[in-house]
Structures are given as structure tokens and as C-alpha cells.
Amino acid sequence: MHDGCTGSFGDGKQVVDKIRMMGFNTQLMPSNVKIKCIECGEEFEMTHLETKCPHCNMVYGVTPCSVNYPERIKAAGINY
């Protein structure tokens, strides 16, 4: 599991669970990040640390420590 800013997560569900537990899931991203959804292939903007793809409802999450690294945004599952 994650250990501060030095740890890493195994999957997107762990990322989303952690930011929800910490109350960060509704926090705005410092700047929006355009990502391509792994489920439907549509591009959309990630506006919050937890954001749903508006096309297929795939949930994505990123920890506050990782917002500057788009490759650390993880998919958790549809309507997770």
C-alpha cells in the first residue's frame, strides 16, 4: 500500500480508496489533464483527483503527490 509520497500503489482501486479515505477525491487538480480513457478510447479532462470519464463512467484517480505525473493516473473501474 501507499506510504506517503514515497510509496506506490498496485492498482487504481487502491489509489481511489486512499484519496477517498483521506478526503482528497473531490480536490481540484492544480491544472486539468487530458487523458484518453482506457475503456472507451475517448479523450477527456481530469479536473479532480477522482474523475469519471463522461463517456463510459470509468473512474480515474491520482494522489496529491502524483498530480504532476500524468502517467500515475490510474483507472479504478466503471462506476467504482
- What spatial distance separates the first Cα and last Cα of the chain, rounded to whole Å? 19
Determine contact, residues 73/33, Cβ cutoff 8 Å: yes
Overall average pLDDT of the 16-22 stretch: 95
Distance CA 36, CA 62 (A): 15
Please tell me the predicted confidence (pLDDT) of residue 5. 67
Is residue 7 over pLDDT 70? no
Total-model pTM: 0.90
Distance CA 11, CA 1 (A): 10
Is residue 4 over pLDDT 60? no
Is residue 3 over pLDDT 80? no
Is residue 38 over pLDDT 90? yes
Determine contact, residues 12/76, Cβ cutoff 8 Å: yes
